[in-house]
Structure 1
Amino acid sequence: MMKNKWMGMVLATAVVVPCFAEPDAPYKDASLPVEQRVEDLLGRMTLEEKVAQMRIFHANKGIKSGKQGELVMSKDVVARLEYGIAGIKNPGEPDSPEQAAKLTNELQEYIIGKSRLDIPAMFVCEAYNGVDAHGSTRFMRPMNMAATWNVDLVNRIWTVTGREARLRGFHMCHSPESDIMRDPRFGRMSEAFSEDSWLTTEMVVAAVKGVQGGYDGTGVNSTHIGAVAKHFAGYGQVQGGRNFASIQISERDLIDQVFPPFKGAVQRAHAFGIMASHGDLNGVASHANPWLLTEVLRKQWGFKGYVVSDSNDIARLHDFMKVAESHEAAVEMALKAGMDVDLYSDLAYVHLTKMAKADPSLIPFIDRSVSNVLRTKFKLGLFENPYTSVGDTKMEVRSEASLALAREADLESAILLENKKNTLPLDAAKIKKVALLGPLLYTDTQDMFEQVTGDAVEYVSAKGFALTDGKRGRPALMPRDEKKIASLVEKAKAADVAVLFLGGDEYTSKEAFFSGAYGDRDLIDPVGPQDELVQRVKALGKPVVVVLKHRRTLSINVISDQADAILDCWDLSELGDLAVAEILFGKVSPSGKLPVTVPRSIGQFPFEYSQKEINYKKGYLFQKDGPLYPFGHGLSYGRFTYSKPKLSGKEMAKDGTLTVSVDVSNAGKIEAKEVVQLYVKDLIGSVTRPDKELKGFEKIELKPGETKAVAFTITPDMLMFTGLEMKPVLEAGDYEVMVGTSSADVQKAAFRLK
C-alpha cells in the first residue's frame, strides 16, 4: 500500500496529515541493531509522542467498516491518534477476516501517515481458543489443550492462531493465560491450562513459541504475532474465587509454583509482553509492585518486552485498590513500578505529559517504557511490514487444514472418566436408536453424529431445558419444568442408549466484569435439574452415557454414580461434537487426561494433587477421602500395562542426572494413545514438601500388543525448591520417583541425592 492514499476512507472529522520523517533516519534502517534503532527514534520524539506510545484504546471507541467496506473513524478516535498510539485493541473484530485485513491496512496507513515519525501501531487481539474475532478458526479452550498432554499439538494450534491473527492485521495477543488454576469457583477457569505448575509451564511455552512463529520465533516479524503472558502474578488464586479479589500466596509458593509458567514464557519462549494482574499480591497492588514488575521480571529474569495494564487498572490504584491518593499518584506509582502501557483508561497515563512537564524526573521512567514499546514494534517488523495481504487472508484463515487441526485436538483432549462394564465404545451394528438429550446439546449435534454413523443408527434429539435465561451480565437460573424433564425421559425410554449432554455453559462460568456482571460461583455442583435427569433416565434400565461440557470443574457425584460412562469434554472446538461421536462409536480411543483434580465438593478446597503431604493426614466427617477423580486420570479403549520403573542408578550427584525408564504395553484390542506421567517426591526436606510433583510426561501411541520404552531424565533443577532462607536449594537426601497413568496410579522407585 502507498502511504497517504485515502480513497474510500471516511473520517468523522477533517484531518491534516503532516510528513516530517527523514527517509534515511537510522531508526528506519532494518540492518542496524534494534537497540540502536530504539535509541535513535526515542531521541527524535516529543514528550507528547512518547506518552502516546504508552497507551492502548479499544476499537469500540469508533473504528469500524462502513457500508462500502471503507474505514470509518469517530472524532474521538481521530483525536486519540493525534500524536500516534502504542496500539488499538480488536480493530475489525466483528468483520470477516478479509474485511478485517482491509480495515487494519487502512487504519495502519492512516496512523503512519498521521505520525510525524512514521511510527506504526500494534493491533491487539485475545486468543483463548484461536483468534477471538469473527471468521477465525475456533479451537478448544486452554484447559482442553492441557488435557491433551501433547506439547507439539498445542504448539501447532497456537502457530495457526498466530498466523491467522497476523493475516487479519493483528500484531499482539493478550494471551496465553499463564496462571495455575486451582479454584473452580473462579469463572475464568477454562482460560488457563491446569492446576499444575509443570504442565502449565510446558503448555505456556508451547503456546508462546507457536503464536510467535514457531520454536525458532523467526516468523514474529512478518507472519506471526507477539504474545502477552498474563496475569502476572497469581491471578488464578483470587480469594473466594471472585474476580478482582485479593491474592494471598506465600512467597515460597509464589516462587516455586506460580512463577515458573511466567518465567518459562519469558526465558524459554521470549514472550513479547506481560500483563499485570487485576489483584494485589500479599497486600501490594500488582500494578504498583516494583519488586514484581522490575526486580523479578526484568532484573532477575531479563525480560525485554513491555508490561501492559489489565483493563483500566492503573487508574484503579486510586478508584478501586485505594492505594493512591489520586489518579496522578496512581500514574506515578505504576510508572515507577514498571508499568509501560496503560490499557483503555482515560484517567491514568493521559495525565503523564502534564505531570512530566511539571516534574522532569519522570522522563527517564517514560523513556524506559517507551523504549520497551518501540523495541517490540521493531522486533515485530512493523516499520518494514506494517500491512497484511488481503488475498492471503481470504485463502488461509479458517482453512481446511486449520479445521482438521481443531478436530485432531478435540479427539486428543476428551477425557474418559468412567466406563463401567465397557459401555463404550458403542456398537453401531447393534444399536438401533440413540437419544441425544440435555441442556448442553447443540443444534448441529445430531448432524455431526450422523456424519459418523450414517444410516446405521437412528437418532432422536432434544435439548429439553436451558440452564439459565442467557442474560450476559447476571444470568438467572431457569425454574424447574416437569413437562420438559418428563419429555426427555420419554425420548430416552424409546431409545436403546441415552446420551446426555450435561455440565455448564457460557453463562454458568464466565468472566465477572467490573460493571456489575457476575461469573463466579460459590458452589460447583451442576446447576438445574441435571442430576435429577440422570437419575430418572438411569431408572429406565437403559445404558446412560454422559457427555460433560463445562468451563469450570464440577463436583459430579450423582452423575459419576449413575452414569455408565462419562466423556469429559470441557469446551471443545466448533467441530467438537464430531469428535464426541467418533469417540463414543469407537472410531478413535479417548486419550485425554485430567489437567485438574475433580473434588467431591467445594468443601475439600484446597484439593490440588500437589498439596503438602501433611494435608492428607485427616479427611472429613461423612465424606469419602480423596478426590472424585485424580489429576492425570483418563481411561482408554486400550488396556495399558506398565513395567516396574528402572533407574540408571541408586544415587545422583548434585551436578548429575538419572534416567528412569519404563516399558508400556497395550494389552487391548484397539490402537490407542497413553500419557506416561513422571512424578517426584522429596521424602525429607528442610521445609514441608508437596506429596508429589509432576516432573515430566510423554504421550505415546501403541498398537494392540505393542510395547514401547519410555525414559525420563531427572535433572537437579527438578529437585530444587525455595529453602528456609528463601533461596533456591538442592538438598541431599532420599527421593521417590513415580511413573504411571495418573497421579494416583503409579509405580515407584527410589534414589538418593548425594
Structure 2
Amino acid sequence: MKHYLPLALILSLSLSAFAQNQKIEKKIDSVLKLMTLDEKIGQLNQYNGGDATGPITNNASKAKEIRDGKVGAILNIKGAKETRAMQQVAMQSRMKIPLLFGLDVIHGYRVTFPIPLAEAASWDLGSIENAARVAGRETASSGVHWTFAPMVDIARDPRWGRVMEGAGEDTYLGSKIAFARVKGFQGKGLGNLDAVMACVKHFAAYGAAIAGRDYAAVDMSEHTLWEVYLPPFKAALDAGAGTFMNSFNTLNGIPATGNAYLQRDILKGKWKFNGFVVSDWGSIGEMIEHGFAKDKKQAAELAIKAGSDMDMESLSYLPNLAKLVAEKKVPVAVIDDAVRRILRKKFELGLFDDPYRFSNEARQEKELNSPENRKASLQMAEKSIVLLKNNNQVLPLSKNLKKIAVIGPLGKSEKDMQGFWSIAWENDQLVSLYQGLKNKVGDKTELLYAKGCGISDTSKAGFAEALAVAKQADVIVMAVGETLDMSGEAKSKTNIHMPGVQEDLIKAMQATGKPVVVLVMAGRPLIFNWTADNVPAIMYTWWLGSEAGNAMANVLFGDYNPAGKLPMTFPRDEGQIPLYYNYLSTGRPAKNDEETVYRSGYLDSPNSPKFAFGYGLSYTTFEYSNLKLSATQLKMDGKIEVSFTLKNTGKYDGEEVAQLYLQDKFASVVRPVKELKDFRKVFLKAGESKKITFLIDKDKLSFYNQQLKWAAEAGDFKLLIGTASNNIKLEQDFVLVE
C-alpha cells in the first residue's frame, strides 16, 4: 500500500485545492453581484501612499476615495501600525473590501541582502530562495501583502542600470532563479502570515531596451522573444506567482501596457494565468507619450482591453472606465474579469476573513532584524562574491599581518553597501569594509585608512595621503567602484569604465610594490582593463547588503572560500555591447581574437570579453576527468546519463559550480554557439573527489522552430562541461535520433 500513498495524498490535496478554489470563486461571484460599477473600477485603482519610492501623490481627498470604494490597492505603506490604520479607513466603505498593500522589496526588507545580480553570482538556488524567504517573512510581518519582485528580465547590456535588479544574461539560469525567488517570497502559499505575494516584472522584454537606455523601445523577433526573454516569466508563473507587472517599453511598436498579445494571448490565454496584471508606475498614461493613445481616456480603453487589470498611479481608469462602459467601448465583462482577478488574490490572502491579519505589531517586533535573518544575509553575501584574479596566491590574507591599509572611496562607506532599490530605515545597521575588517582582526592587526579620492573625482589631491598610509602597511586592500545611486532604475550610462580617477589611484598603489587586493563594489559589470591586467588580486563584491563588510572580511581571510561565478559577461569596451556568451553562429566566425580579417570581428579589439559568463575562481583548484555518456545516441523519448569526476586538487575546502553547455550543430533555425542547460554547485574537501551526474533529454535539446513550436530536431550535438562558458574541460559529441 505504501507505494500508492503518495499518489493518494496528491489526489487528496488536488481535490482539496479544487474545492477551496471553487469556494473562493463563489464568494467572488457574491461580492461582484453587490458592487456598483464605480466600486468595481475602484478595485482597479492603485495609489501611492508614502515616499519609499516615487513621488508622493498630492491628493488631499485620498482617505475619502478609500471610504468611497475608489481604491483597491496602496503602495509604499509599511509597518503593522500604519497598514492597520489605512485598512481601517477601507473598512468604512460600503462594501468593506480590504486594501492590498504593496512595496518594492527587491533584495531584502529590514535586513538588506545582496542586490539580485550579486545573488545570481552565487549560482546557489537554495540560498537565493532563502533570501527571498527571509524578505517575505519580514515584509509580511509589517502588514505588507505584496512585493513588486522578482524582476526576471534577461539583460545583455550593462549600460542599462537595472541589470542590478535581475539575474543576468542567461535564460536558463534566469529561469531557475525566477522560480526560486517566487517560491521564497510566497513560501507555503498565499494566505500564510509569513509570505508575501510575488509580482513578476517587467512583462515583457524590458531588459532589451535599445542602447541600454531605460524606458526605451524594444524591437526583436518573435523567435528571440519566445526563446530568450519569455522563459523566466513562465518559470515564475510555474512557481505560482500571484501577479505580473507589465513594462514601460514598447515591444515591436506596441506598448507592453496596451499589448493584448502579451497579456491576453500569452499570459492569460496560452499560459492560463489566473492572477492579475498591474501596470508599472504610470505606464498606462505614458502610452500618450508613446504616441499610442491620444489621451488618458483612450489609454484606459487600450490598457483594460489588452489585459492590464490594475492602474498604478496614472489616474487613467478611475475617471474614464465608467464613461467607456456607457459608450459601449469597454464591455462590463472586461471590467468584471479584472475585478475578479484582484478579488481572488484578496480572498487567497485571507483579507476578507480578517483585513488586519498581517498587521501584527508583536509579530513585526519579533521578526525584524533578527540575528537569524542577519546571518542569512551574511551567508548570501559571502556566496555572492566573485574572485576574478589571485596571482601568486595573494589571497587569502594571513591573519598574522601587522598593518593593513584600507584605501579607496568606498572603504568606510556604509550606505553604499545597501545598494539601489533598498528600503529606507532610520538607524540602519550596515557594515562597511573597514568595520568588517576591524571586526575580524580586532587588536591583533592595525588598520590604516585613506580615502584617496571620491568616486567621480577628477582631482588626485588625495593620492599623497593614500600613498603615505599605504607605504606603512603589509598589504593594501582597495575599495573602489560605484556609489549606490550609479546603478538602478533610470541609471543608464554610456561609459561603464570605473568612474573618476579611481583606476589611477589603483596604479599609484600598485607602484608601491606592496601586495594589492582590489575589491570592486558596483551594481553592474564595470570596465577596468588596467587593473584586470596588472593587479594580482581582484574580487567583485557588488553591493552586498547589511553584512557586506563582514562578508568581505571573511572571504579576504579565507574563512569563506569564494565560489561565485559571473551571471553576466564583462566587456573590454563599451563598443562590444551587447556582449553575451550564447551568441548565434555566423557564416564567418572569427577563428580567434587575432584572425579577424574578413571575419566577424573588430579592427581595434578582440571579440572576447574581459571576464566571461560563468567565470569565477576559488582559493583551491578543481580537476574535471573521466567523462562518460550512457549512450552516444539519444532517442526522442529517452535520456542520456552524463557523468564525470570532479576533484578538489588544492589545499582548501571549497565549492565549484560545474556547468553543462550544449551545442546544436545544425538545425532549421540557427542556434547559439553554446547554451547553458544545467549546472551543479558542489562542495569538496581538499583532495576529495565526487562523481557528478547530469541527465540529457529531448527537452534540453528543444528550441522554438520556424513555426514557433517548442520541438527537438534529430541531428548532431556537442556536450561541453566546464568551469566557465569559455573554459570547457570536457566535451563529447552525441546524436539525437528519431
- TM-score normalised to the size of structure 1? 0.88
Contact 1:193 1:203 (C-alpha < 8 Å) held by counterparts: yes
Contact 1:309 1:342 (C-alpha < 8 Å) held by counterparts: yes
Contact 1:406 1:573 (C-alpha < 8 Å) held by counterparts: yes
In 1, Cα distance between the equivalents of 2:50 and 2:314?
13
| Among candidates 409, 420, 423, match of residue 439 of structure 1 | 409
Q: Which amino acid aligns with 2:387?
A: L
Q: 1:652 to 1:89 in 2, by over 3 A?
A: same
Structure 1 vs Structure 2: percent identity of aligned residues? 35
| Among candidates 737, 740, 744, match of residue 719 of structure 2 | 737
Task: Work out whether 1:59 is the aligned partner of 2:37.
Answer: no
What's 2:346 paired with?
377
In 1, Cα distance between the equivalents of 2:31 and 2:698?
45
Contact 1:509 1:552 (C-alpha < 8 Å) held by counterparts: yes
Aligned pairs (5 A) from 1:123-162: 123-131=101-109, 136-162=110-136
For the residue of structure 2 that corresponds to 1:163, the secondary structure is: helix
What's 2:175 paired with?
201
Contact 2:698 2:712 (C-alpha < 8 Å) held by counterparts: yes
Contact 1:668 1:704 (C-alpha < 8 Å) held by counterparts: yes
What's 1:345 paired with?
314
Task: Work out whether 1:321 is the aligned partner of 2:290.
Answer: yes
| Among candidates 492, 501, 523, match of residue 495 of structure 2 | 523
For the residue of structure 2 that corresponds to 1:559, the secondary structure is: helix
RMSD of aligned Cα (Å): 1.9
Q: Which amino acid aligns with 2:99?
A: A
Q: Which amino acid aligns with 1:34?
A: I
Contact 1:140 1:573 (C-alpha < 8 Å) held by counterparts: yes
**Distance apart, 1:596 and its partner CA:** 0.6
Contact 2:203 2:256 (C-alpha < 8 Å) held by counterparts: yes
Q: 1:616 to 1:641 in 2, by over 3 A?
A: same
What's 2:100 paired with?
122
Deviations 1:482-528 (A, max 9, x none): 2212222222122121111111112322321xxxxxx2111211110
What's 1:306 paired with?
276
**Distance apart, 1:447 and its partner CA:** 2.3
For the residue of structure 1 that corresponds to 2:202, the secondary structure is: strand
What's 2:86 paired with?
107
In 2, Cα distance between the equivalents of 1:77 and 1:563?
59
Aligned pairs (5 A) from 1:595-610: 595-610=567-582
What's 1:253 paired with?
224
| Among candidates 444, 451, 464, match of residue 463 of structure 1 | 451
Q: Which amino acid aligns with 1:111?
A: A
What's 2:422 paired with?
none
What's 1:79 paired with?
65
Task: Work out whether 1:589 is the aligned partner of 2:561.
Answer: yes
Deviations 1:612-649 (A, max 9, x none): 12285333223234111111111001111111422111
Contact 1:140 1:572 (C-alpha < 8 Å) held by counterparts: yes
Deviations 1:14-65 (A, max 9, x none): xxxxxxxxxxxxxxx98962222212211111001100000110013999xx
In 2, Cα distance between the equivalents of 1:566 and 1:363?
60
Runs (5+) with no aligned partner, structure 2: 1-18, 54-58, 414-431, 591-599
Aligned pairs (5 A) from 1:519-668: 519-614=491-586, 616-617=589-590, 618-668=600-650
Contact 1:84 1:119 (C-alpha < 8 Å) held by counterparts: no
**Distance apart, 1:298 and its partner CA:** 1.1
**Distance apart, 1:564 and its partner CA:** 1.0
What's 2:675 paired with?
693
Q: Which moved more, 1:563-572 or 1:608-617?
A: 608-617
How many correspondences in the alignment? 684
Q: Which amino acid aligns with 2:355?
A: P
**Distance apart, 1:584 and its partner CA:** 0.8
For the residue of structure 2 that corresponds to 1:148, the secondary structure is: coil
| Among candidates 422, 428, 431, match of residue 399 of structure 2 | 428
In 2, Cα distance between the equivalents of 1:548 and 1:181?
20
For the residue of structure 1 that corresponds to 2:135, the secondary structure is: helix
Runs (5+) with no aligned partner, structure 1: 1-28, 64-72, 93-99, 468-476, 513-518
Contact 2:45 2:70 (C-alpha < 8 Å) held by counterparts: no
In 2, Cα distance between the equivalents of 1:485 and 1:509?
26
Deviations 1:378-423 (A, max 9, x none): 1112112422321011011121100000000111110000001111
Q: 1:365 to 1:32 in 2, by over 3 A?
A: closer
Contact 1:62 1:77 (C-alpha < 8 Å) held by counterparts: no
Deviations 1:83-111 (A, max 9, x none): 1522100113xxxxxxx111111221221
For the residue of structure 1 that corresponds to 2:560, the secondary structure is: coil
Q: 1:139 to 1:354 in 2, by over 3 A?
A: same
What's 1:90 paired with?
76
For the residue of structure 2 that corresponds to 1:621, the secondary structure is: coil
Q: 1:62 to 1:141 in 2, by over 3 A?
A: closer
In 2, Cα distance between the equivalents of 1:296 and 1:316?
23
Deviations 1:283-316 (A, max 9, x none): 1111111111110111111111100101111111
Contact 1:411 1:583 (C-alpha < 8 Å) held by counterparts: yes
For the residue of structure 2 that corresponds to 1:689, the secondary structure is: coil
Contact 1:465 1:485 (C-alpha < 8 Å) held by counterparts: yes
Deviations 1:164-187 (A, max 9, x none): 111100111110001011111111
Contact 2:569 2:612 (C-alpha < 8 Å) held by counterparts: yes
What's 1:392 paired with?
363
**Distance apart, 1:142 and its partner CA:** 0.5
Q: Which moved more, 1:121-130 or 1:500-509?
A: 500-509
Contact 1:180 1:193 (C-alpha < 8 Å) held by counterparts: yes
For the residue of structure 1 that corresponds to 2:479, the secondary structure is: strand
Contact 1:489 1:533 (C-alpha < 8 Å) held by counterparts: no
Contact 1:221 1:379 (C-alpha < 8 Å) held by counterparts: no
What's 1:367 paired with?
336
In 1, Cα distance between the equivalents of 2:589 and 2:404?
43
What's 1:334 paired with?
303
**Distance apart, 1:350 and its partner CA:** 2.9
For the residue of structure 2 that corresponds to 1:154, the secondary structure is: helix
**Distance apart, 1:556 and its partner CA:** 1.5
In 2, Cα distance between the equivalents of 1:646 and 1:748?
10
**Distance apart, 1:128 and its partner CA:** 1.3
What's 1:19 paired with?
none
| Among candidates 313, 326, 329, match of residue 357 of structure 1 | 326
**Distance apart, 1:547 and its partner CA:** 0.4
Q: 1:616 to 1:416 in 2, by over 3 A?
A: farther
Deviations 1:329-371 (A, max 9, x none): 1111111110100001124443112322332742111111111
**Distance apart, 1:686 and its partner CA:** 1.2
What's 2:596 paired with?
none
In 2, Cα distance between the equivalents of 1:369 and 1:166?
25
Contact 2:65 2:71 (C-alpha < 8 Å) held by counterparts: no
| Among candidates 691, 696, 709, match of residue 709 of structure 1 | 691
- TM-score normalised to the size of structure 2? 0.90
